[in-house]
C-alpha cells in the first residue's frame, strides 16, 4: 500500500574484506540489499577488481538478501521512482569499489580463528495454512539450519580487525506494513557484533530459501527485529569471545602458594600452517522447467498492471489494491523468468568459492533450500564450510525434490526442474573435494 519510505531505521552498508596470503589476494564484498541482476553483480565485481588489481574470479559479491531496502532494479512493479532506482544501482559499483580501496589501504598482518555456535530463532517458513493453502509463513515442525559460523580476524598485535558471521534466515522480519529503510535483522546482528568486538562484521547468508524469521515476522515492530538480530549477534559474539587467536592449548605450569594453593596453567601456542587464501569460480549447469512463452507472459503482465493502475487511480479499497498488487508481482516474476529462460533446457549458474585457511565459503546465485546447504556442509572435506545463496546475480529458488510436491511460492516461482537441487548438491560437493585435493 506504500511505495516510498517515511524514514530510516538504520543505514544500509556495503562491507568489504580484503585478504592476502602472500601468493593470492581476494576481496569479499557484502551488501545489505535484496537482489541484483547478474549484470549488476558483474559491474560491481569489475569495479572492485579494477580498483584492487585483481581478476574477476578473485572478487566475491554477496547479499544479505534484505527485503527492507530498495527493490531490485527490474522488479519495480509500481513504476514510481524508476529513475532514482536506476541511478542508485548505477552508483553501487563505485561505492563498493571505494570500500574495497579503503579495506586494501588498511591491510596489516593478521591472525585467524573460527568457531561454531547455534541459534534457534529461525523457523521453517513452508507453512500449510488452516485452509490447506501452502504459504510463506511459519512451520514450527519444519527443519532449519541453526549453525552460527564465526570467523575472527585479529592483527598480530591482538587488536581486532574484523569478523565474519554466517546464519541462515530470510531478512523478511520487517513486512508490508513497515515504512522504514532498514537492513532488517542482519544489520542489527552486525551492530551487536561490532559493539562487542570493536571491528567491522561481514555477514554471510546461508541457504535460506525455506527459512524465515518466525511468528513475529512480517511486521513493523522494530523492537522485535532488533531482538532477533541481537539474539544471533549475542551467540556470534559469545563464539568470537571464546576463540584464542592465535590458537593455544593449556597445560599445568605450577602450584602458586597464595591464600589457597593455586593451580596455575599456561598457554602453549599450537603450531598451525599459515591460512591459505584461494578464490575460484565454477559454472554449474542446472536443468530448467518449461516456461510460459514470452509474448503470453508480457500480455498477462500488461493486463495485470492496467488493473492495478486503474484501482489505484480510483482510490479503491485497500483489499482490492493488495490483491491486484499480488497479481502484478507474480506476473512480473513470470515475465522475467520467460525472458531469461523460455525455450531453454538448462542455465549456467556460478559457484564462487573462497577458502580462508581451514574454512571454505561457497556461494551460488539464487536461493537454495536449507537441506541442500546442510548436506553440502556435512559432505565437505574442509574443517568448516559455509554454503549459501545470494552470491552474484539471482536465478530464483532451487527447491529440494522432497518439497516440490507441496507447491507454494518457492516452488511455483522457481524456473528450475525438479532435479536441479540434486544436481547442485552433487556438483558443489565434487568441486569442494577437488579443491581440497592435491594441487
pLDDT in tens, 245-290: 999 999 999 999 999 999 999 999 999 888 999 999 999 999 999 9
- At 75, the pLDDT band (50, 70, 90 cuts) reads confident
- Confidence check: pLDDT of 77 > 90: no
Share of the chain above pLDDT 70, in %: 99
Looking at every residue in the chain, the average pLDDT score rounds to 95
Say if residues 365 and 348 touch (Cβ distance below 8 Å). Answer: no
79-111 burial string, b = 16+ CB within 10 Å, else e? eeeeeebeeebeebbeebbebbeebbeeeeebb
Query: CA 151, CA 394: separation in Å to the nearest integer?
Result: 26
pLDDT number for residue 260: 96
Query: CA 316, CA 9: separation in Å to the nearest integer?
Result: 30
Cis amide linkage into residue 322, ω under 30° from 0: no
pLDDT in tens, 131-174: 999 999 999 999 999 999 999 999 999 999 999 999 999 999 99
- For residue 205, list its beta bridge partners: 167
- At 74, the pLDDT band (50, 70, 90 cuts) reads confident
- Confidence check: pLDDT of 438 > 90: no
Residue ranges of domains in the chain: 7-245+276-289+345-436, 294-341
- Candidate from 67-76, 101-110, 244-253 with smallest mean pLDDT: 67-76
Query: CA 271, CA 247: separation in Å to the nearest integer?
Result: 8
- Confidence check: pLDDT of 439 > 60: no
- Candidate from 10-19, 149-158, 331-340, 410-419 with smallest mean pLDDT: 331-340
pLDDT in tens, 293-331: 999 999 999 999 999 999 989 999 999 999 999 999 899
pLDDT number for residue 73: 83
Say if residues 100 and 93 touch (Cβ distance below 8 Å). Answer: no
Query: CA 391, CA 365: separation in Å to the nearest integer?
Result: 5
Amino acid at each position: 500500500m506504500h511505495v516510498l519510505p517515511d524514514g530510516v531505521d538504520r543505514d544500509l552498508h556495503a562491507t568489504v574484506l580484503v585478504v592476502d596470503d602472500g601468493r593470492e589476494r581476494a576481496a569479499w564484498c557484502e551488501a545489505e540489499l535484496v537482489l541484483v541482476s547478474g549484470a549488476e553483480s558483474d559491474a560491481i565485481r569489475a569495479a572492485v577488481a579494477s580498483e584492487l588489481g585483481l581478476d574477476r574470479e578473485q572478487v566475491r559479491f554477496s547479499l544479505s538478501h534484505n527485503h527492507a531496502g530498495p527493490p531490485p532494479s527490474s522488479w519495480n512493479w509500481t513504476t514510481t521512482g524508476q529513475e532514482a532506482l536506476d541511478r542508485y544501482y548505477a552508483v553501487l559499483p563505485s561505492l563498493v569499489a571505494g570500500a574495497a580501496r579503503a579495506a586494501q589501504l588498511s591491510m596489516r598482518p593478521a591472525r585467524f580463528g573460527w568457531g561454531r555456535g547455534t541459534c534457534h530463532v529461525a523457523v521453517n517458513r513452508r507453512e500449510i495454512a488452516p485452509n490447506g493453502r501452502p504459504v510463506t509463513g511459519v512451520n514450527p515442525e519444519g527443519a532449519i539450519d541453526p549453525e552460527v559460523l564465526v570467523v575472527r580476524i585479529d592483527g598480530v598485535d591482538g587488536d581486532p580487525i574484523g569478523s565474519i558471521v554466517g546464519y541462515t534466515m530470510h531478512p523478511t522480519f520487517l513486512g508490508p506494513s513497515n515504512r522504514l529503510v532498514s537492513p532488517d535483522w542482519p544489520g542489527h546482528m552486525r551492530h551487536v557484533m561490532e559493539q562487542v568486538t570493536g571491528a567491522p562484521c561481514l555477514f554471510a547468508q546461508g541457504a535460506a530459501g525455506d527459512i524465515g524469521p518466525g511468528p513475529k515476522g512480517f511486521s513493523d515492530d522494530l523492537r522485535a527485529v532488533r531482538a532477533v538480530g541481537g539474539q544471533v549477534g549475542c551467540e556470534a559474539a559469545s563464539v568470537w569471545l571464546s576463540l584464542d587467536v592465535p590458537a593455544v592449548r593449556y597445560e599445568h605450569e605450577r602450584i602458586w602458594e597464595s591464600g589457597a594453593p593455586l593451580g596455575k596453567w599456561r598457554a602453549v601456542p599450537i603450531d598451525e600452517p599459515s591460512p591459505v587464501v584461494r578464490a575460484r569460480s565454477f559454472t554449474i549447469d542446472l536443468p530448467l522447467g518449461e516456461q510460459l512463452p514470452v509474448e503470453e507472459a508480457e500480455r498477462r503482465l500488461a493486463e495485470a498492471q492496467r488493473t492495478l493502475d486503474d484501482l489505484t487511480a480510483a482510490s479503491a479499497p485497500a483489499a482490492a489494491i493488495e490483491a491486484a498488487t499480488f497479481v502484478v508481482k507474480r506476473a512480473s516474476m513470470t515475465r522475467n523468468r520467460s525472458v531469461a529462460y523460455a525455450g531453454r533446457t538448462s542455465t549456467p549458474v556460478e559457484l564462487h568459492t573462497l577458502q580462508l585457511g581451514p574454512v571454505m565459503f561457497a556461494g551460488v546465485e539464487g536461493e537454495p533450500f536449507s537441506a541442500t546447504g546442510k548436506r553440502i556442509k556435512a559432505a565437505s572435506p574442509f574443517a568448516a564450510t559455509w554454503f549459501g545463496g545470494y552470491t552474484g546475480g539471482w536465478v530464483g529458488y532451487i527447491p529440494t525434490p522432497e518439497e516440490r510436491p507441496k507447491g507454494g511460492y518457492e516452488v511455483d516461482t522457481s524456473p528450475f526442474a525438479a532435479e536441479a537441487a540434486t544436481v547442485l548438491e552433487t556438483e558443489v560437493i565434487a568441486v569442494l573435494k577437488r579443491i581440497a585435493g592435491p594441487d
